[in-house]
Amino acid sequence: MYAVVGAGALGYLTAHSIREQFIIIDRDVVEDGNQWYRKEDASKPKVDIISRKLKNAQGIFMDINPASISVLDRADVVIDCTDNMYTRYILNDYCNKTRKRFIFSGIDNTGYSVMHFFRSPCLRCIMPKSSDSFFCTGNIPESILKRAVKAQFSCPESYMIQGNRKFKINKNPECKCCAKHNYEYLKSCSLMVSRSCDSTYIIPRSSAHLAFKNKKTLMHNGISIIIFSNKAAIIKTADAEKSLKIYRKIVA
Ligand SMILES: [Zn+2]
């Protein structure tokens, strides 16, 4: 079974090209201006919109992190449609440890890179360390998105497709992940914090495996905060330090 992680512009199209049953996991609600989504769906979880439209999709409104990753146990192919490197390293370690196929997809306004990993080599063979980077792309041309989706399903194992070019990916015999099996990105901490373009996600480990439910939205000093019943919060600023302060004051 496929698992699609991320329901942004790319994940939306990827979901529409899968014919069998699959799961799609995403942590965001629709905002005005999101590509493919309608204005009237604003503030609804993106995965709810997709699973309402596609009968073969099961949407899970959740943050993927070391404490919630077992949500992917049912899948045998994990397709990355996220916008941040941190989550990709978690997915890479998890897929390597559990021997699942991992399809990496990086995309921006000028092009895309899709890589297909199975056991070895892995993402960490070619990019040993994660950065805290994420991509604030805005709307991506439809032609690039469609070509990236095509590559997700056609990229051969241990290859990278980048536009019209195809490269073989080599194994690094010293790779901490696929050679040494040191899965450092699967270690969780009591409070998991990650960022996107305009938000910080704070998730307590104890309930990270629970889907986001029963949200309430409030404002604090002009910053919008969404709090869920499992005490996860989305704070609408990419300033993680500031977000943690707000979280400790209001939620914890
Ligand atoms: Zn590796």
pLDDT band at residue 135 using 50, 70 and 90 as cut-offs: low
SS3 sequence of 189-226: CCEEEEECCCCEEEEEHHHCCCCCCCCEEEEECCEEEE
CATH number belonging to domain 2-184: 3.40.50.720
| pLDDT tens figures, 158-210 | 999 999 999 999 999 999 999 999 999 999 899 999 988 889 999 999 999 99
Distance 80 CA to ligand 1 centre (A): 17
Beta strand 57-61 pairing with 77-80:
unpaired
Distance 140 CA to ligand 1 centre (A): 30
pLDDT band at residue 33 using 50, 70 and 90 as cut-offs: confident
Distance 23 CA to ligand 1 centre (A): 26
Distance 61 CA to ligand 1 centre (A): 30
- The 8-class DSSP code of residue 69 comes to G
Distance CA 181, CA 163 (A): 32
Q: Are 123 and 170 in contact (CB under 8 A)?
A: no
Distance 177 CA to ligand 1 centre (A): 5
Structural domain spans, the chain: 2-184, 189-250
Q: What's the first-to-final CA gap in the chain, in angstroms?
A: 37
